[in-house]
Copies of this chain bind each other. A is one copy, B any other.
Amino acid sequence: MDLRVGLIGLKGHQSTILSGVQAMQDARLVAVSDDDESKLAGVPGWPSAGPHTQTFSDGLKLLDSMELDIVGVCGTDSERAPMILAAAERGIHVIAEKPLAMDLDELAQVREAVQTGGIHLSMLLTMRCDPPYITMRRLIADGAIGEVCQAVMQKSYRLGERPEWQRSRETFSGIIPFVGIHALDLIRWVTDRDFTQGAAWCSNVGHPAMRDLEDNACVALQLDNGASASARLDYCRPAKAPTHGDDRLRVAGSEGVIEWMYTADQLTLLTNSEDPRVVELDEPIDQFANFVASIYEDKPSWVPAEDCIRMTEICLRLRDAANTGTVAQLA
């Protein structure tokens, strides 16, 4: 197999794709595009690329010029859906940044195009591939905490310097679709429960230079067994904090509580029957390799298209609910 991989945009988690290409003997990074020439200048030096890797300042030109099997779509939020549509038209499989679209109309177009184009689609819900969450999902499925009663996730990050495209609603989807999608996807995936209703509030209160980029959000939701969930997102992690991020996921059930704290680097399990313990973590997943295997070896996708579409829909509905002070119907 000779797998020709392209990359449109260098504004996200493209490293997942690049390290995946590098790890696969049969994959080649044949083309990269971005509107920033200075970023493209570094491409020939990448371990996953080489002098043969062509560069483009425009994603559509890349698609029109190259024969590709898979394309990574990692530009701004507003470029995402148009590029997915263009790739689907050409029958190229897509692994995209999140969310898939800026609004529900665009999302409907993406859903339709993926179906019509018969392509495989995945999304860089990279946290699904991290050991703590894989382990939590397995333990919860095994009944370690009984019936899920509540799931709560925190994502807190340093703000640092944010690019211009994240400061405008025209090009940025918002903190809930951009950051919250990881938190809500993990709650849904780890508990194997879907959302039925939710409400959210978000704003930029403390960082006016970031304009439309919200620095905080809180979401409350109902799960399909009647349990509750919430997510809290912020860009308020101080400069002097010991780590860039402070992710936490806690699921409380009828028989126990399981909790991951990134800063403590510990997954802890408390139950009614056993003494509290720190859980050993499962192995990570290579998301790109899994995506390739899901296409060519008929293996199940770790991040299937229906989850990517569903999570984008959930986050866009919650963002719109936050903007209008209403309850989002998610069932």
Main secondary structure of the interface of A (DSSP, over half): strand
Does A79 touch B at the CB level, under 8 Å? Answer: no
Residues of A with Cβ closer than 8 Å to B?
A: 146-150, 152, 154, 156, 197-203, 205-207, 215-222, 225-230, 232, 234, 236-242, 252-257, 270-276, 325-327
B220, A272: Cβ atoms closer than 8 Å:
no
Given A203-B227, A253-B206, A325-B327, A275 contacting B240 (CB threshold 8 A): yes
**In the assembled complex, how far is the CB of residue A56 from the closest CB belonging to chain B, in whole angstroms?**
40
Does the CB pair A327–B217 fall under 8 Å? Answer: no
Distance between Cα atoms of A241 and B150 in the complex (Å): 17
Stoichiometry, as copies per complex, reads 2
Q: Does B234 lie within 8 Å of A205, measured CB to CB? A: no
A205 touches B226 (CB 8 A): yes
Report which of B221, B254, B271 forms a contact with A218, defined as CB distance below 8 A.
Answer: B221
Closest Cβ–Cβ distance, residue A198 to chain B (whole Å) = 8
Residue in chain B with minimal CB distance to A154 = B152
A149 shortest CB reach to chain B, Å: 4
Inter-chain contact B206/A228, CB cutoff 8 Å: no
Apart from A206-B253, A218-B221, A240-B271: 4 A-B pairs, beta carbons within 8 A: A205-B227, A220-B230, A237-B252, A237-B257
Q: Is the pair A152, B218 in contact by a Cβ cutoff of 8 Å?
A: yes
Q: Among the listed B147, B219, B255, B271, which residue makes an inter-chain contact with A220, where contact means beta carbons less than 8 Å apart?
A: B219
Closest beta carbon of chain B to A235's beta carbon, Å: 8
Whether B270 and A216, one on each chain, are in contact in the complex, defined by CB atoms closer than 8 angstroms, is no
